[in-house]
Structure 1
Amino acid sequence: MAKSIQMDELKMGVCYYPEHWSEALWEDDFRRMREMNITVIRMAEFAWSIFEPEEDQFDFSFFQKALDLAHQYGLSVILGTPTATPPAWLTSKYPEVLNANKDGVLYQHGMRRHTNYSSPIFRQQCEKIVRNMVIAYKDHPALIGWQIDNEFNCHMDVFYAVADHVAFREWLKDRYESLENLNQAWGTVFWSQTYTDWAQVHLTRNMVSQSPNPHLALDEKRFISANTISFAKLQVDIIRELDPEHWITTNGTFGHLDNHEMTEELLDFFSYDSYPQFATIFPGTDDNSLQDRAWSMKLSNVRNMSPNFCVMEQQSGPGGWVDSIGMGTPRPGQIRLWSYQSVLHGTDLLVYFRWRTATFGTEMYWHGINDYHNQPNRRVREVAQVGKEFAKIGRVIAGTTYQADVAILQDYDNIWDGELDEWHGPLQQQSVRSWYKQLQYRHIPTDMVTLQPTTTLDALSDYKVIIYAHPAIMTDETAELLQAYVSQGGTLFFGARTGYKDLRGHCYMRPFPGAVAELCGVTVEDFTLIKGTIPAAELQWNGASERLQEGTSTAGFNEVLHVEHADVQVVAEYTSEYYAGSPALTKRTVGQGQVWYYGAAYNEPVVDALLDEIELSSPVGDLVEVSSEVELGIRSGKDKAYVFLLNYSDQQVPIKLKKQAKELLSGTTLQNEINMPAYGVFIFEIDLPH
């Protein structure tokens, strides 16, 4: 059961750092927050040196004053444990807490996330600061919850300190029990890598070739995730023991961490940091790029952990560090647009980063709502508008959940294995982008679903269509689950390189696509990576759709399929290369459903043709016609559904309402042709059938 934040209304908050400002500013800041309908502040996640300026010398009075004043102004407070930024005295006295590169050279103090989770001393110090902090603040009336740490694995998601190698060995001993089992799992007979003593086993190190043992590399990522979760558990256990009354969350989705497992095992709900402008600063050459709209895919991933969640940091201005990232200023309306992008996808508590732009430090160009001068600006006015709207619609929207009939399936093992394996990793990125983009442009709401060991048929049965594009690692158990999904009426899409590896990352000695070959009714008789002098093949479409034009090319990989069952329909064939005339795309009816197999990575023309073939369309097509610049999504409750329209264009765009509908933000009833303003937001209320 996914874990959600429990809110009876949409709430708006802001990140606030009292340690950055004169105490003389606090009261005016809190007063102005309340005027903007900001009711929650997050603080303290980087304040370890204030709480513990010297080892074992604790002082919680500074933030006690900040919490007291916040409470006077009716502000609720989320406190962050400060373990992402240990103080200089700690790293100086105990350098073994620092992380290291592959050569074992330590990263030095001065930024954040420069420690390792494995160091016993670091864990002891973290236990101590968390325990004392919770004791100090657990009974404060302003406190509503805890954020543990900040953005696990941000900046650095690999760890090579001495303590990490030791911890890796212990994790492997627990996983494999013997060196014999480890050697078999890692295929160490290859190139005489066989281990005869546990002391010989290390995390990835620099070698003559930068291509490590692929099975070690996969286990390394699994270990990093498990170790990070173990570090998080250390903090959660303390808070649960001392303060069982308040909720616990953490924020951010970064590399080599199974956030789904962490949420399920430790948290009350997951939180996210939403910065859509990251998707716009490298737009690429694609004229139809989703750009900031693409951030909805990331929010969809979070929604799979917590259907209703907190955005702990929502972009409220241009972003930038002194030495790297730089972003232009959001145009008028974009901050509000991005705020509702988060709300559409499940956010019930929206916390902006940050109240006022820092005047010093690495993030002094990471702008907040207020500028350095602290005078009114258009960002303040825009956030205040959102605050008024939340007050108006918040009780109606909170607790409703995003509705989708389509899911893009993924899993951590394949994501992590694909980082090294270019024979399937890049294909996944290509296919997911193409599917999500075309579903967006056709206004078909889509979920991102991460397959877990606990995933049930009931969970998958919520979806009419599932795209599981390139699951190279495929077990027989997963294949049985997917066959059951198809048999009871689902439509399932696979792509090239499906099912050729086991959980160890070994290639099966069985015909591709391995465990799902029988389900698909095909095998792969030949294949090639499309690279260098090997060109993409062209396709001839045999389906009913007329969308796929002659000359459409494949992407990434070409598999030559062999039909194994008479009930398999060849929907497309290759028309070029030595395998011209061979099947490229097949369809098979299994039970009440269909399974499709495509011997390539999906691109936009192929996805469009497939959507025509299965006749998949917008679920509210009878209500509204919307131009492609607009994202359409639905949040539903018991009796009502709320159709969100978000215009990502800098131009007004037309929409057509085929029926009368109440627009919540304006409170007006609309019908027929309407123009949406640039970066505009509409939320229409519709009745659900009983």
Structure 2
Amino acid sequence: MPETTPGGLTRLAFGGDYNPEQWPETVWQEDVRLMREAGVSMVSVGIFSWALLEPEPGVYDFGWLDRLLDLLHENGIRVDLGTPTVVPPVWFYRAHPEALPVTADGTRYEFGSRGAICHSNADYRAAAANITTRLADRYGNHPALAMWHVHNEYGVPVSACYCDSCAAHFRRWLGATYETVDAVNEAWGTAFWGQRYTDFEQINPPRLTPTVGNPGQALDYKRFADATIRENFRMERDILHRLSPGVPVTTNFMTALSQCDSIDYWAWGREVDLVTNDHYLITDGRRTHVNLAMAADLTRSVAGGAPWLLLEHSTSGVNWQARNPAKAPGQMARNSLAHVARGSEGAMFFQWRQSRRGAEKFHSAMLPHGGTDTRVWREVVELGASIDTLGPIRGTRTQADVAVLWDWHSWWAQNLDWRPTEDHDARERADTFYEVLYDRHLTVDFAHPEADLSAYPLVVVPALYLMTEAAGLNLKEYVEHGGTLVVSYFSGIVDEHDAVHEGAYPGPLREVLGLTVEEFSPLLKGEKVRITGPDGAELGADVWTEFVVPRGAETVWTYADGLTAGRPAVTRHRLGKGTAWYVSTRLGTDGLDTLLGRAAEDARIAPRADLPHDVEVVRRTGESGTFLFVVNHTAADAKVPLDTSGTELLTGERAAGRLAVPAGAVRVVRLDG
């Protein structure tokens, strides 16, 4: 089995992307001196360096990289060495212009950015394999090497190409997937609108059409594009495993649901030796720490619950949003340690030294333009010391309370054209359900719909439009064996080919929910409805209503107005030893909190009302002990009850009974016993 932790790293990872090729070599010595001052333990190198490593076809210059790796090794800094295959040199594109990707409307991108790659292109694959082989031959046993970093943020900014090479590759993929063209016709429902094919050669990618194209074809093309990119990753990974045995291989994911929607990370998590992730705050006025926690929980889940690594985030502002505010004092450390609480084995940044030129020169860095006499630098040094004290948590695992089901294929299908309303957003539902669970101080594992759910007393399904029969059976068995399930509207509607399940909605969920849905009734923009509970209390809802028919389920809330007035809005169904809840409309956070409070009672999850709002409390447990992370995102001091005494690692103080956490601060208690 390949190693799953960075080689030679005896503490948590702390550092960032290091791009010394942007600076004269006279700066390198200063960089390394300051890295040691900041407590840097690992840097990522060479990710965008192909044009320097191979300045002409077959002509190589490794001298500068030799000197750099030796310098880092001499100073005790480990190296996450990149394969630079995200940025082929300009000479490559001049020789192979067809390797530049083509959009669905036929536009071919030009050289001059990054990630402009047709992943079906044979010349690109050969060139990528060659430079990866050269690097592995030269550095596979270098003493500074901790792990390999393949490519960069696959799927960003280009996930799919629609050129003729991709068309031919897509046909081969369809042949391998379906075997016969008749099976493709059946899966895609090509009898509709006379789209039937008689030969694979007639099939093209879902290019621009005068109106909506075939949704089954569009969904399969997303799968094909993801599988093609993953195939290229495996090619590089296997070269590295062969020539550099024992060194883990990774690539940096972007699991935050707002940052990359083209990659099936459940599949990718099985391909890397160590799951790593990049996370950047979306500063749109919402509570950014909630999205951060969600991304960290999702990344840990993709890793199967194992420790993972935050490979990139920002010390302060980014540069690619419409408005890029700086992080508040202390926020960098708070963000970093919140990732660590949820399973990361360190905190890495983009990047070490802030660029003076190029597209990201206003993106913050560990060493800012202003140098060491800056707030950011002082906070970096302080964070490095904090990270160093947390070494005992290495290898421990974050403990979760509940599971949220998520499937990228369902999200892809949900986002295709011509759905009942454009106002229903699967990601918004996932965000909102997660926020309510977060505010109830419940730590979340995300799970694939067909995964083993037996460890969770409560499972939530915020948006699962596409659901296989196997997933439906899995949820039925989960409830029968004593689990509590909460399902939101427009779930269980179509199968893996985007074909509506036979019979009444919601397909494979009918039996477990004890109901059918006769008809969807989306609301007009701005329209709202009220639903009434058994005690007469009302909740507000919008976007969506349904004509629900109970078939064993009891009605808990009823529509008070609108077309569905008098009909069930929220139901509860006892099945076997467990309970299944269904909510057929879009509730806000207050309404969802009420609903999930009732479901939590069914799941015998005790309320945690003694924990302050916006103060995270997360546990990591392993052979080295149990560690309680408390992250205070508020501007007021907080006190958190402790069920046992312990030692606070960041201050060295003893804690018992109640733990005081200053405003904006983090505390990590190693619990006794």
**TMscore range, shorter length:** over 0.9
**Secondary structure of 2:352's match?**
coil
Q: Pick the aligned partner of 2:447 from 437, 449, 452.
A: 449
CA contact (8 A) 1:652 1:676 kept: no
> Which residue does the alignment assign to 2:367?
370
Instruction: Give the conservation status (yes or no) of the 8 Å contact 2:554–2:573.
Output: yes
| 8 A contact 1:38–1:387 mirrored in 2 | yes
Out of 526, 533, 544, the residue aligned to residue 541 of structure 1 is: 533
Task: Give the corresponding residue for 2:344.
Answer: 347
Does the alignment pair 1:608 with 2:593? Answer: yes
Take 2:387 and 2:562, find their aligned partners in 1: how far apart are those partners? 58
Shift of 1:405: 1.5
Q: CA deviation at 1:326?
A: 4.4
Partner of 1:418: 414
Q: In structure 2, what is the equivalent of residue 507 of structure 1? A: 500
Q: Residue 429 of structure 2 aligns to a residue in which SS?
A: helix
Alignment of 1:478-493 (within 5 A): 478-493=471-486
Q: Which stretches in structure 2 are left out of the alignment for 5+ residues?
A: 255-259
Q: TM-score, normalised by structure 1?
A: 0.91
1:430 aligns with 2:414: no
Name the SS of the counterpart of 1:632 in structure 2: strand
Q: Is the Cα–Cα contact under 8 Å of residues 292 and 335 in structure 2 kept in the other structure? A: no
Point out the more displaced range, 579-588 or 75-84: 579-588
Aligned partners of 2:26, 2:173: CA distance in 1, in Å?
51
Unaligned runs of 5+ in 1: 284-288
Contact 1:148-1:250 within 8 A present in 2 as well: yes
Name the amino acid aligned to 1:42: S
What is aligned with 2:638?
Answer: 654
CA contact (8 A) 1:157 1:255 kept: no
Partner Cα distance (2:261, 2:421) in 1: 18
Equivalent pair of 1:626/1:654 in contact (CA under 8 Å): no
CA contact (8 A) 2:533 2:557 kept: yes
Structure 1 residue 436, shift from structure 2 partner: 1.1
2:294 is matched with 297
Please name the residue that 1:226 is paired with: 227
**In structure 2, C-alpha distance between the alignment counterparts of 1:382 and 1:478, rounded to whole Å:** 47
The question of whether the paired residues in 1 share the 8 Å contact of 2:546 and 2:564 is answered with no
Q: For 2:623 and 2:35, how far apart are their aligned partners in 1?
A: 33
Is the Cα–Cα contact under 8 Å of residues 103 and 206 in structure 1 kept in the other structure?
A: yes
| Inter-CA distance 532–657: structure 2 relative to 1 (3 Å threshold) | closer
Deviation string 1:366-408 (CA, Å, 9 cap, x unpaired) is 12111224333221221211221222221x2111111112111
What amino acid is aligned across from residue 230 of structure 1 in structure 2? E
Question: Which residue does the alignment assign to 1:286?
Answer: none
Runs of 4 or more, structure 1, over 4 Å off, are: 1-4, 615-622, 658-661, 671-675
- Measure how far apart 1:620 and its partner are: 9.3
What SS does the aligned partner of 2:365 have?
Answer: coil
Check 1:67–1:51 CA distance in 2 against 1; reply closer, same or farther (3 A cut): same
Q: 1:350 to 1:618 in 2, by over 3 A?
A: farther
Report the counterpart of residue 255 of structure 1 in structure 2: 261
Whether contact under 8 Å (1:464, 1:491) holds in the other structure is: yes
Q: Aligned in 2, Cα 1:612/1:2: closer, same or farther, shift over 3 Å?
A: farther
Q: 2-side partners of 1:223 and 1:11: how far apart?
A: 35
Of 590-599 and 218-227, deviating more is 590-599
User: 1:4 deviation in Å?
Assistant: 5.6
Instruction: Say whether residues 1:641 and 2:614 are aligned partners.
Output: no
Query: Partners of 1:329 and 1:439 in 2: how far apart?
Result: 28
Whether the aligned pair in 2 keeps the contact of 1:631 and 1:645 (CA below 8 Å) is yes
Residue in 2 aligned with 1:558?
A: 545
Alignment of 1:573 with 2:575, yes or no, is no
Query: Could you tell me whether the CA contact under 8 Å between 2:346 and 2:387 is conserved in 1?
Result: no
The answer to whether the 8 Å contact 1:663/1:684 transfers is yes
The match for 1:587 is 572
The verdict on how the C-alpha distance between 1:38 and 1:618 changes in structure 2, with shifts beyond 3 A counting, is: farther
Give the structure 1 partner of residue 197 of structure 2. Answer: 195
Give the aligned residue type for 1:226: A
Q: Does 1:137 pair with 2:139?
A: yes
Q: Secondary structure at the match of 1:38?
A: coil
Partner of 2:278: 273
Question: 1:4 touches 1:308 (CA, 8 Å); kept in 2?
Answer: no
Aligned to 1:308: 307
Output aligned runs, 1:516-531, within 5 Å.
516-531=509-524
The alignment status of 1:87 with 2:99, answered yes or no, reads no
**Structure 2 Cα separation of the partners of residues 528 and 81 of structure 1:** 51
Q: Give 2:647's aligned amino acid.
A: K
Distance 1:555 1:517 in 2: 24
Equivalent position amino acid for 1:64 in 2: D
CA contact (8 A) 2:290 2:435 kept: no
Kindly report the root-mean-square deviation, in angstroms, between the aligned alpha carbons of the 2 structures.
2.4
- Going from structure 1 to structure 2, the CA distance change for 1:314 and 1:526 (only over 3 Å counts) comes to closer
1:212–1:590 Cα change, 3 Å: same
Paired position in structure 1 for 2:330: 333
Cα shift readout 1:21-51 (whole Å, capped 9, x = no counterpart) = 1111112211221222211111001000111
- On the 8 A contact 1:3/1:305 being kept in 2, the answer is no
Q: Deviations over 1:44-89 (max 9, x none)?
A: 0100011100001122111010001111101111111001011000
Amino acid at match of 1:538: R
Contact 2:38 2:380 in 1 (8 A): yes
- Aligned-pair CA distance for 1:681: 0.8
Matched to 1:406, the amino acid is V
SS at match of 2:64: helix
Q: Write out per-residue CA displacement over residues 306-353 of structure 1, whole angstroms, 9 at most, x where no aligned residue.
A: 2311111121122115xx654122111011111101101111032222
Q: CA deviation at 1:615?
A: 4.3
Give how far 1:161 is off. Answer: 2.2
Aligned residues: 660
| Counterpart secondary structure, 1:363 | coil
1:679 maps to which residue?
Answer: 664
TM-superposed deviation, 1:675 = 5.7
Output aligned runs, 1:95-244, within 5 Å. 95-209=97-211, 211-244=212-245
Q: 1: CA distance between counterparts of 2:149 and 2:606?
A: 38
Q: Structure 1 residues 580, 3: CA separation in 2 closer, same or farther (over 3 Å shift)?
A: farther
User: Deviation per CA, 1:483-516, whole angstroms, max 9, x where unpaired?
Assistant: 1211222111112122221111111230111112
C-alpha contact 2:614 2:632 (8 A) present in aligned 1? yes
Cα deviation digits, residues 96-148 of structure 1 (max 9, x gap):
11001123221000000111100011111111111111111112111111010
Alpha-carbon distance in structure 1 between the residues aligned to 2:69 and 2:449: 41
Q: How far apart are 1:262 and its partner, in Å?
A: 2.1
Distance in 1 of aligned mates of 2:2 and 2:48:
29
Distance (Å, rounded) in 2 between the aligned partners of 1:615 and 1:174: 45
Report the AA paired with residue 222 of structure 1: R
1:22 paired residue among 24, 32, 39? 24
The aligned residue for residue 383 of structure 2 is: 386
Query: Counterpart of 1:320?
Result: 319
Other-structure match for 1:72: 74
User: Which sits farther off after the overlay, 372-381 or 160-169?
Assistant: 372-381
Letter in 2 for 1:272: N
Deviation at 1:639, TM superposition (A): 6.9
CA contact (8 A) 1:98 1:161 kept: no
Deviation readout 1:650-683 (Å, 9 max, x if unpaired): x123324365553221121245677643321112
Query: Does 2:468 align with 1:475?
Result: yes
DSSP-derived class of the 1:420 partner: coil
**Secondary structure of the equivalent of 1:474?**
coil
SS at match of 2:415: helix
**Counterparts of 1:368 and 1:312, CA distance in 2:** 14
- Which residue is 1:358 aligned to? 355
Question: Helix, strand or coil for the counterpart of 1:633?
Answer: strand
